[in-house]
Amino acid sequence: MTEAHRLTNGRVFTGRRLVRAVLMEDGRITATGSEEEVARAAPTGATVYDLDGHLVLPGLIDAHLHIAELTRSREGLTLEGVGSISDLLERLRGWADSHPTSAVVGRGWHVEQFREGRAPERTDLDRAVADRPVVLYHASGHAVAVNSRALEAAGFDRSVPDPPGGRVGRNSDGTPTGLLYEEAMRPVASIALAAFPPEPAAIARTLAFVGSYGLTTVATMNTGPEELEALRALANAQALPIRVRAYVRLPFADAFSPSGLELSRKDGFWGIPGVKAFADGAFGPRTAWLSEPYADAPGESGVSVGEEGELLSALSRASERGLVPAVHAIGDRALERTARVLEAIARPDRLRGRIEHAALTPPSVLPALDRVRPALVVQPGFVWSDFWLSRRLGAERSRWAYAFRTLADRGHLLAGSSDAPYDPVDPWRGLAACVARRDPFGRSANPDPSESLPAEEAVVLYSVGAGLALGEPDLGTLEVGARADLVRTGVTDLARALALGASAVQETWVDGRPVPLSRGSYGEQSPSL
């Protein structure tokens, strides 16, 4: 029995063109075009939906986020919008009082938002909670502030040196301050995991919430064994509300047997396409690896995570097993290294590799990218969120941050993503930031208007482009043969949809069926322009 739905009388953007009607049969698009064309193709008994002139878009795709961390940040302690260290301690005390047993794990602090103009340290946190570990992630996820109990559990003291690829914040006598960067964060990750193990029910709630924005596929990055197990449980029970792709954590990739790769994606809801690796950190904690020192810290040029040779051999082993490399590279120096590594392991029969973020692309790194042509998985929302970037880089260099137009004009494949929870998951915020480089308060990491994209091209980043970056050309499009994933809006044109943001979404369809919405319980809203 065929399940067929015909959507008529709409403005349907297929990812390539605007049409009036679309036909879905058993989860696939089988016709798309004028009313007559689609009516002729429809089987008798197809359900007919009148779109009433409203806009339909391909199901949106977030090509890079972190489902377990997003779940933890939705259901754990959030420090977003905290304006000072004393307010942070207040919030910490409140959370600890109402959660008396477990370690305290939070996320979202940012020095640029603190009145004190410095990061919280061990001695600050001890004043709020001293009887159990406290682990507070920086908004970027690339640094963490811990109290004395957590530092002790992690095994850092004056006599222990910094681990390779990591940095331990220290006083002049070498005593750790409680700030840990990059690889030095690894020992406290288990504390966070023990306090918030990824549970299938909680992950399903997060995915339903994510789906309410019109997202029909998400790629969760740097997946560890616990998150993978929870996602597999949901996939096996056919309980994933939207499609999920996982890029496993590099050290864990070697443990995969080729038969366990789950690349077949029979029902298309689940797959493990690749492996995630790191070449550097982030701009906020000054760990993004730059070719010239930071403008606001002349002695620092960031952190190179791992050795180039090791990265190359680990990624080529993973590629041999069918896992596509996705390498985090933010600074220009990290991008140069990553391009070299991807070039060395590229083969004509393999899917193209991905560079995650590709944030700082001055003219000096463009030739290397042009040669290798990886998918560039960008986060347009960072154009607004990193409004302080010119302090870190200087105005001349920040001109080349998030240079989407420059990259697209050179023929690069760009894929949209949020990096949630390190930025709001809302794709409408990212769409708006592609078009208007300045946020509603006039702020921007790189306001250069020549880097903005037209609205339709922005939608392509979050649909067709992201599908291609996942190696799945049948995602993110409403052309014939594609999976029947779409967003039904309550507006008649794209400009109005971008102005309204997420509230323009009326329904999210996955695999030819509407999925239940669950937005409203959480504070992420699209600012209206």
Q: Which residues bind Zn ion (CB under 5 A)?
A: 419
CA atoms lying within 13 Å on the CB side of residue 85: 15
User: Which residues are within 8 A (CB) of 205 and not within 5 positions of it... i.e. 6 or more apart?
Assistant: 71, 74, 518
Taking the complex as a whole, the smallest distance from the CB of residue 3 to Zn ion amounts, in Å, to 37
Taking the complex as a whole, the smallest distance from the CB of residue 157 to Zn ion amounts, in Å, to 30
Cis amide prior to 421 (ω within 30 degrees): yes
Measured from the CB atom, the residue of 282 and 487 that comes closer to Zn ion is 282
Going from the C-alpha of 414 to that of each of 256, 464, 501, the distances in angstroms are 29, 10, 21
Measured from the CB atom, the residue of 182 and 419 that comes closer to Zn ion is 419
Taking the complex as a whole, the smallest distance from the CB of residue 24 to Zn ion amounts, in Å, to 33
Q: Is 93 helix (H, G, I), strand (E, B) or coil?
A: helix
CB 447 within 8 A of CB 437: yes
Taking the complex as a whole, the smallest distance from the CB of residue 284 to Zn ion amounts, in Å, to 13
Could you tell me how far CA 477 lies from the centroid of its own chain?
Answer: 20
Taking the complex as a whole, the smallest distance from the CB of residue 282 to Zn ion amounts, in Å, to 9
Measured from the CB atom, the residue of 49 and 247 that comes closer to Zn ion is 247
CB 230 within 8 A of CB 244: no
Measured from the CB atom, the residue of 89 and 420 that comes closer to Zn ion is 420
Q: Which residue is nearest to Zn ion (CB)?
A: 419
Measured from the CB atom, the residue of 419 and 485 that comes closer to Zn ion is 419
Could you tell me if residue 488 is left (phi over 0), alpha (psi between -120 and 50 degrees) or otherwise beta?
Answer: beta
Measured from the CB atom, the residue of 219 and 453 that comes closer to Zn ion is 219
Q: Is 72 helix (H, G, I), strand (E, B) or coil?
A: helix
Measured from the CB atom, the residue of 10 and 374 that comes closer to Zn ion is 374
Taking the complex as a whole, the smallest distance from the CB of residue 316 to Zn ion amounts, in Å, to 23
Measured from the CB atom, the residue of 25 and 419 that comes closer to Zn ion is 419
Q: Is 376 helix (H, G, I), strand (E, B) or coil?
A: strand
Taking the complex as a whole, the smallest distance from the CB of residue 356 to Zn ion amounts, in Å, to 6
Pairing of strands 243-249, 215-223: parallel
Taking the complex as a whole, the smallest distance from the CB of residue 376 to Zn ion amounts, in Å, to 14
CB 27 within 8 A of CB 47: no
Report the sign of the C-alpha dihedral through residues 168, 171, 172, 174, in that order.
Answer: negative
